[in-house]
Chain A
Amino acid sequence: MKDSLVLLGRVPAHPDSRCWFLAWNPAGTLLASCGGDRRIRIWGTEGDSWICKSVLSEGHQRTVRKVAWSPCGNYLASASFDATTCIWKKNQDDFECVTTLEGHENEVKSVAWAPSGNLLATCSRDKSVWVWEVDEEDEYECVSVLNSHTQDVKHVVWHPSQELLASASYDDTVKLYREEEDDWVCCATLEGHESTVWSLAFDPSGQRLASCSDDRTVRIWRQYLPGNEQGEVHYLSCRGGMQRLLTQWKCICTLSGFHSRTIYDIACLTGALATACGDDAIRVFQEDPNSDPQQPTFSLTAHLHQAHSQDVNCVAWNPKEPGLLASCSDDGEVAFWKYQRPEGL
């Protein structure tokens, strides 16, 4: 199993600090990393090695917790504990901070771009999720402030093709949001995790959502649209007894017993998922080829102990190169891995 995940290289991305998060650009040619040193670094390949092509240092006063590339690849958003979100515009190897989004009361924990590129979501320890809209002149305006969670919101992620937003929180739930009339509303709450939900990832088809938690499990959720063949029907009872058919999300699989500590991040490919764990390990799970899509089963196909010397905070699959995985850790390093799908799967 060890052979299925091979180390390609390491870089000391955020020396004497933590590396918190990684994001590949849509073309798969650049990797952005961010950390406790308040900096963002952009990595690219030069031959066989990864080198730092840019350092974005004047943007934030405190830890940069997450970074996210826009769908067009020309912008990078960074979420910081200094309560702001910076939007950087890429001009070849240079990045310029074009806007700073303010408004959250305290640490911003995550930022994510919608597939259309016109919307951005941020979330914070202030328990809220904000949706922002960007216009042609790169002006950002707040479109909605969502206060559905009852605790710190750790992560936000958009559906790959729909304007559907998901958030994960210290309140142990995952929530989904949609636009309705002139505002955004929480359209579903996924309960099941027994502790903080740290991260989320949609699978490339958007049919499934994976969540990972401090309860050391991964849960896979599936969307059931009204009128689905499985006969899953769900209503929302509003004031006035009006009932609305809702899309419902059901937990179709729970991976438990595989992780010995908190799972901090999860990344999905079609049929496979990678996890970042507080036990310093990286794991890859593959969906069993004959399992029922409504009740899938997964097998652990890679378990790399000591992938890093401390907690692994993030794992990210390269969007263009199959099997190329990047990871980062509290030890400040970024590692690159090649995942080989084991024989027979």
Chain B
Amino acid sequence: MKSSRSVSCSAPLKGDAMTDLDDFIGPSQECIKPVKVEKRAGSGVAKIRIEDDGSYFQINQDGGTRRLEKAKVSLNDCLACSGCITSAETVLITQQSHEELKKVLDANKMAAPSQQRLVVVSVSPQSRASLAARFQLNPTDTARKLTSFFKKIGVHFVFDTAFSRHFSLLESQREFVRRFRGQADCRQALPLLASACPGWICYAEKTHGSFILPHISTARSPQQVMGSLVKDFFAQQQHLTPDKIYHVTVMPCYDKKLEASRPDFFNQEHQTRDVDCVLTTGEVFRLLEEEGVSLPDLEPAPLDSLCSGASAEEPSSHRGGGSGGYLEHVFRHAARELFGIHVAEVTYKPLRNKDFQEVTLEKEGQVLLHFAMAYGFRNIQNLVQRLKRGRCPYHYVEVMACPSGCLNGGGQLQAPDRPSRELLQHVERLYGMVRAEAPEDAPGVRELYTHWLQGTDSECAGRLLHTQYHAVEKASTGLGIRW
């Protein structure tokens, strides 16, 4: 998905796109988003008059006038539509930035205690690894110094999305086993496709709609599980309503900003988003620069934890690569649950390129499980086309929009003085240094299922740990053709 995604070439957004807006077309010019207007029957043909101040008035046949609403395009409408060339999206996304965080922190300083918001930052392991590489620190020191930095500027709590990822992985594992067992009853049960990557989700919703969506896992991504954890569980613990918390996440890509602004992750009751602002790794770097802070020079602070009692000494992670380890966890769990087979090491077999690899579980010559990972647009294309033709041999596919996965996301730090491949390998090494934990055994997870969610298959768990997808109608741009 190009990278500069999401619409014009269906690619994940890259940092470079932000600085080069030569092809910027004002949303008004090519926008085909219809504005919803109250329609009254009758009236026939109307004339429109433009006032000197630029406002529009409709003149009815009887001479009466009615001021017309300005067409407003929300961030999500714009991002989800294929109607115009996409730089407009890029502009809208820049509005969710570190400037926004600074504004909130400044407002907090001036506000009366009852008006202040509790500021929580959740850092992804991938962003942390990228910063570690840049500052030549190990992951633990990076985590602690980042905590120190954020608290210095007024943030109250700093969490690690590796914790919320336990839930994403557990839900994915369970969902797969359920669907595998229910294959006979449902033709669309398999393959099951991973759902953590918003670049992939947006592409699937826009391009393949109702055909592909039933195959996508409903498990929320770690970012959005953290949204639930912070705005529901943690808010209750802190005796605050969710709108009193300002939740920021630090992510390796721009598409996570799109994910955070999905209506499905907006809490209607309290009129607040589960994740208020997403900063890319690059934006955090800029924030450090603007605050004049040298991360390595900071005193490390103790790490915060969402589960009381367990104050972690060091961050934890998951096995199975830098994009969360979905394939690996679902595979090993399925092998155990469905076939009673314990898989120690998962062996990957590269196919046509390094971003497309498969894994099989065989017993006595029979293939029991056939999984794959497909990263990058060209591999996603092939996967989807095969699915369309009914020729997809896989039970589960870990789909990620970025070649080489999340560690290579469009919001990660670049190093002008290093070949990008070498930098990526360094980031991968740092990421892999963090101790891996099995989600089933992670402290605090089981307790949260019991006390917060009231059980593993409860209505609560369904509501807070799962989501849904919406096919986007393709807009026809018959009038906008340029040969």
Contact = CB atoms under 8 A, between A and B. Distances in A.
Q: Do A and B come from one complex?
A: yes
Interface of A: 81, 102-103, 105-107, 125-128, 141-145, 147, 150-152, 170, 182-183, 238-242
A105 B23 contact: no
A105 B8 contact: yes
Given A105-B8, A150-B22, A145 B378 contact: yes
Given A145-B377, A152-B482, A105 B420 contact: no
A103 B82 contact: no
Contacts of A143: 352, 378
Among all A-B residue pairs, the 6 with the closest Cβ atoms: A240-B419, A182-B353, A147-B2, A142-B381, A142-B378, A141-B382
Nearest to A139: B391
Sort chain B's interface into a size bin.
20 to 34
A239 B9 contact: no
Contacts of B8: 105, 126-127
Contact of B23 (A144, A151, A183, A239): A151
B9 A126 contact: yes
Interface string B7-28: 0111100000000001100000
Contacts of A183: 353, 403
5 contacts: A105-B8, A105-B207, A128-B9, A147-B9, A183-B403
Contact of A102 (B22, B377, B385): B385
A239 B352 contact: no
B3 interface: yes
Given A143-B352, A239-B415, A240-B422, 10 more contacts: A126-B8, A142-B382, A145-B9, A145-B377, A145-B378, A170-B482, A183-B403, A238-B419, A239-B419, A242-B419
Contact of A147 (B11, B385, B423): B11
A107 B483 CA distance: 9
A109 to B, nearest CB: 9
Interface string B434-455: 0000000000000000000000
B8 to A, nearest CB: 6
Interface of B: 2-4, 8-11, 22-23, 82, 207, 352-354, 377-378, 381-382, 385, 403, 414-420, 422-423, 477, 481-482
B269 to A, nearest CB: 38
Contacts of B23: 150-151
A242 B423 CA distance: 14
A41 to B, nearest CB: 22
Given A150-B22, A183-B353, A239 B377 contact: no
Nearest to A102: B385
A92 B403 CA distance: 44
Contact of B481 (A107, A147, A150): A107
Contacts of A144: 378
A273 B238 CA distance: 78
A239 B416 contact: yes
A196 to B, nearest CB: 10
Given A142-B378, A182-B353, A240 B418 contact: yes
For B9, B416, B419, the residue with the greatest tally of chain A CB atoms inside 10 Å of its CB is B9
A241 B382 contact: no
A91 B260 CA distance: 54
Nearest to A154: B483
A340 to B, nearest CB: 34
Contacts of A103: 381, 385
